[in-house]
Amino acid sequence: MARRPPPRYPDRRSNPSPSPSFGSNINYGTIALFGGIFVLGIGVGIGVSSNASFDPQNVASREVIDKSAPNAELCVQYGASSIVTDMRVFITLNPFSVFVTQPQMQPGCVLRRSNMNLLEQKRLITSEQARDCRNRMNTFGFVGSLDSNPRIDCVYPNDAAGNLFLNPPGSVNPRSEGENF
């Protein structure tokens, strides 16, 4: 039996196949044009997304809330402006169900504990109401102008859940103690 020689494969080094050349069809002008379009697109996107509206229908900043608060100057100086939500919750036990009314949103103000005496000086609360609220480590919040029949309530800070906007779960920065009222 005769032995057959091994098959010969063509030597690629002697006959190289043409490789595609990517740089030959695109010039620097085209690259510059695409880069300029990219940068312009980012600039337009940032401009459109950061458009702040001071329309009362769009409360997008703390300044809008501060300007809308009753007695805005007094509120910013002696407390903090707020968004007040009035709603009622109905709970039935048989069968167990929870019903919530449509919330009513309005601007309000929460005074610091150290400034609760302002309401006493304006004769809007009695000394007994101030003492009862202070003894429970609470403060006062109000809706409406202090000059014309405001609705004043003793309010307490609810720190049980924490502020997940400032301290998301897993964050390492503790909450600032300067936020206490």
pLDDT in tens, 101-157: 998 889 999 999 888 889 999 999 999 999 999 888 889 999 999 988 899 999 988
Tell me the longest C-alpha to C-alpha distance in the chain. Answer: 123
Q: pTM of the predicted model, to two decimals?
A: 0.56
**Residues 6+ away with beta carbon under 8 Å from 103:** 85, 86, 87
Rounded Cα gap, residues 169 and 72, in angstroms: 34
Taking a C-beta distance cutoff of 8 angstroms, is the pair 69, 108 a contact? yes
The separation between CA 102 and the C-alpha centre of its own chain, rounded to angstroms, equals 22
Angle, vertex CA 110, rays to CA 119 and CA 176, nearest 5? 130
Give the lowest-confidence range in 22-26, 46-50, 148-152.
Answer: 22-26
Burial of 140 (0-12, 13-18, 19+ CB in 10 A): buried
- Tell me the mean pLDDT in the region 23-39: 79
Domain ranges of the chain: 70-179
Query: What pLDDT, on the 0 to 100 scale, is given for residue 128?
Result: 93
Burial of 125 (0-12, 13-18, 19+ CB in 10 A): buried
- As given in the structure block, the two tokens for residue 68 are 């809308």
